Homo-oligomer: A and B are copies of this chain.
């Protein structure tokens, strides 16, 4: 028995099998022709020593990181977990590791965008809910790292998101067809220095379109935007619901906000749905529990799609050294209206 280091290296295996390290490397890396006997003894040695190739050495040698980065704001956001699961379900089956970055403010975002989007850090990057600005875009392009946007959209990058205008329209149209004529809208900020363009703006456009087609007015105080938390939505809803001529229905940007609206209604002794109909967006687990009518979007699937698109781009880049081939493509995720018990015809 030769002296072997722990963990064993490729050289230990080579000695053990009486071959050269190169040969071991060859059997490791697939089908390059290695003859029967040599291959056998190498495989035997690998098994005996419990050899596993050192990932860092491979990374350095190959100039690949075998790592996919995920940058997302607000890990706590319910939609994030679902998307991460989707991403993981794809990446977990590959040789890539998944490394996550949570960003909570502008500085952190800029730092991560600059430091993570480098060829030596990740082979690909999935950015969730953050829309890169011009400066970021330049950095990204220069870095040549394949990038996919999920729940955000930019002409220069493959983007995965639902048709928010359609979603806004569906939700609003549902309320209109129930007979509502006074419909409020609550959202996160339409534009925000942190996340960039919000999906809320597009959902508003859908809302607006439906209202206009039905010949309905949108009083300016029926529309409020703020932070995306439940508490903020609750306070916005309180404002709208105490208006002299309050709406009979509210469409909220997200389920979390919609639940905030329901809480505000409860505080004001308004029964949902009899006194107030509420529609949310996302169809998180809580929506089902709360029997909230909502727009279902497959968050998990958006993660899956994002990961798949990214892997494709990485592959394309490896074959033809022309990065960012597919960029700008927009992949829409299906959405559909899920009617539950929070919406009903207006009683007033």
Contacts of A263 in B (CB 8 A): 289
Q: What is the bound-complex CA distance between A285 and B7, given in angstroms?
A: 45
Residue of B nearest to A290 (CB): B289
Most chain B CB within 10 A, of A7, A80, A100, is at: A100
**Does A232 reach chain B (CB closer than 8 Å)?**
no
Those of A75-100 within 8 Å (CB) of chain B:
75-76, 80-82, 84-85, 88, 92, 97-100
Contacts of A100 in B (CB 8 A): 84, 88, 98-100
**Does A1 reach chain B (CB closer than 8 Å)?**
no
* CB–CB A92/B88 < 8 A: no
Q: What is the bound-complex CA distance between A286 and B214, given in angstroms?
A: 36
Contacts of A75 in B (CB 8 A): 81, 84-85, 88
Those of A1-43 within 8 Å (CB) of chain B:
7
Contacts of A57 in B (CB 8 A): 60
Given B7, B65, B81, which contacts A119 in the complex, CB threshold below 8 Å?
Answer: B7
**A228 to nearest B CB, angstroms?**
13
Contacts of A99 in B (CB 8 A): 67, 97-100
Contacts of A101 in B (CB 8 A): 92, 98
**Does A56 reach chain B (CB closer than 8 Å)?**
yes
Most chain B CB within 10 A, of A65, A84, A115, is at: A84
**Does A52 reach chain B (CB closer than 8 Å)?**
yes
Interface residues as binary, A40-67 with B (CB distance below 8 Å gives 1, 0 otherwise): 0000000000001011110110000101
Contacts of A65 in B (CB 8 A): 56
**A288 to nearest B CB, angstroms?**
9
**Does A205 reach chain B (CB closer than 8 Å)?**
no
* CB–CB A7/B81 < 8 A: no
Contacts of A279 in B (CB 8 A): none
Chain A interface (Cβ < 8 Å from any Cβ of B): 7, 52, 54-57, 59-60, 65, 67, 75-76, 80-82, 84-85, 88, 92, 97-102, 115, 118-121, 230, 259, 263, 285-286, 289-290
5 closest A-B pairs by beta carbon, nearest first, are A56-B59, A56-B60, A54-B120, A88-B102, A99-B99
Q: A52-B115, A56-B120, A57-B60 are in contact. List 4 more A-B contacts (CB 8 A).
A: A56-B60, A76-B81, A92-B102, A230-B285
